[in-house]
Every structure is written in structure tokens, then in C-alpha cells.
Amino acid sequence: MQLTNRKKVIEQKPMTFAERIYFPAIVKGLRITLRHFFKKIPTIKYPEEIRPYSKNFRGQHSLKRDEEGRERCTACGLCALSCPAEAITMTAAERKKGEEHLYREEKYASVYEINMLRCIFCGLCEEACPKEAIYLDGPHVTADYLRKDFIYGKDKLVEPTFDITKLKS
């Protein structure tokens, strides 16, 4: 019984003369490849040319600073908790006297690491964060040779300090 109409009976006909001398088929093939020869090439030459990203492209994470240049993260661990890939680990520390210009909250992350090999760029950490401290707004995570080099610490994640007074001048 036939359940679908996708069945195709293949008949093996002997080749016709035109098929046997190959030439018509060869000419046809040559025409196809020649057409491709003059086609526009869709390749994007990556390092020189970067293709436009969508506005909500999720790339490498960055840990944000507030308008005074202090780190926003308070090491609450909600991002790590929400992460389905368990890519985030952190160590919390208490802010000391005289460090108010470095950290916004009394508690901060002294170590904050994301394992980029585990991360699936789902963006749940970004959603979970109550302090708006983490965003996936960076570029691609680049290739590297060793696994350990994919564990990004604060040196790679925290935004560079941004001096607003210099921008105005």
C-alpha cells in the first residue's frame, strides 16, 4: 500500500546516443560553471570587512560601569544562577574604605569568570542581572589555542574606564 506519493520508481533505460557520447552533457556542465565564474562572490573577507550585525546580536559579554566609572556588579550571583550552561563563576568581596570610586555597591566581584566554551550566548545572564551590570554587546569571541584561554576574567570582561570629562573637551 502506498502511504505517501513520494515513491519514485527508477527505471534504468539504456543510454541514448547523445548521452553515450557525453558531449551535450559536458557542454551543459561547462555552461553552468562558466556562469558561476562571472557571478558575484558572496564571500565576506573577514578581518578587513565585517558584515553588519543585527542590533540585538549577542556577542561577548561586557561588565558595565556606571556614569562615574564604578563597576556596577554587586556579585549577587543571579547571573550565574540563571545561566543554563553554568558558564559563570565568581568570588565576592567586601568593598573597603576608600574604594568607593571603584565599586558602586558595598559588595563586589573580586573574581568574575565566564567560560566562553560553555556559554551558549543565550542572554539569560543579561536578563537576570538586577544591576544592569552585564550585557552581551561585544563582538565575536575570537579563536584561541588552549582551553584555559577561553575562560575570560575581569581583565577581558570589564569595560575600559571611560573618562567623560575628556570627551567633552
Partner 1 sequence: MEWSFVIEKLILVFIIFVVTLLIAMYSTLAERKIAGFMQDRYGPDRAGLFGILQPLCDGGKFFFKEEIIPAGAHKALFILGPTIAIITACISSAVIPWGQELQIGDRTISLQVADVNVGILYMFGVIALGVYGIMLGGWASNNKFSLMGAIRAASQSISYEIAMGLSIIALLMVTQSLSLKEIVAQQSGFVNWNIWAQPLGFIIFMVCAFAECNRVPFDLPECETELVGGYHTEYSSMKLGLYMFSEYINMFVSSALMASLYFGGYNFPFMNDLGLSANMITILGVVVFFIKILLFIFFFMWVRWTLPRFRYDQLMNLGWKMLIPLAIANIVLTGVFTLIKDTYFS
Pick out the residues of the known binding site.
73, 76, 79, 83, 119, 122, 125, 129
Q: Taking CB under 8 A as the rule, does residue 15 contact partner 1?
A: no
x/- map, 59-88, ligand SF4, by CB under 6 A: --------------xxxxxxx--xxxx-xx
158 binds, among ligand SF4, partner 1, none (CB under 5 to 8 A by kind): none
Nearer Cβ to ligand SF4 (70/83)? 83
CB 136 within 8 A of CB 83: no
CB 134 within 8 A of CB 64: yes
Q: Taking CB under 6 A as the rule, does residue 157 contact ligand SF4?
A: no
x/- map, 18-57, partner 1, by CB under 8 A: ---x----x--xx-xxx-xx-x-xxx-x------------
Nearer Cβ to partner 1 (45/166)? 45
Q: Taking CB under 8 A as the rule, does residue 14 contact partner 1?
A: no
**Between residue 86 and residue 105, which ones bind ligand SF4 under the rule CB under 6 A?**
87-88
42 binds, among partner 1, ligand SF4, none (CB under 5 to 8 A by kind): partner 1
50 binds, among partner 1, ligand SF4, none (CB under 5 to 8 A by kind): none
Print the SS3 string covering the chain: CCCCCCCCCCCCCCCCHHHHCCHHHHHHHHHHHHHHHCCCCCCCCCCCCCCCCCCCCCCCCEECECCCCCECCCCCCHHHHHCCCCCEEEEEEECCCCCCCCECCCEEEEEEEEECCCCCCCCHHHHHCCCCCEECCCCCCCCCCCHHHHEECHHHHECCCCCHHHHHC
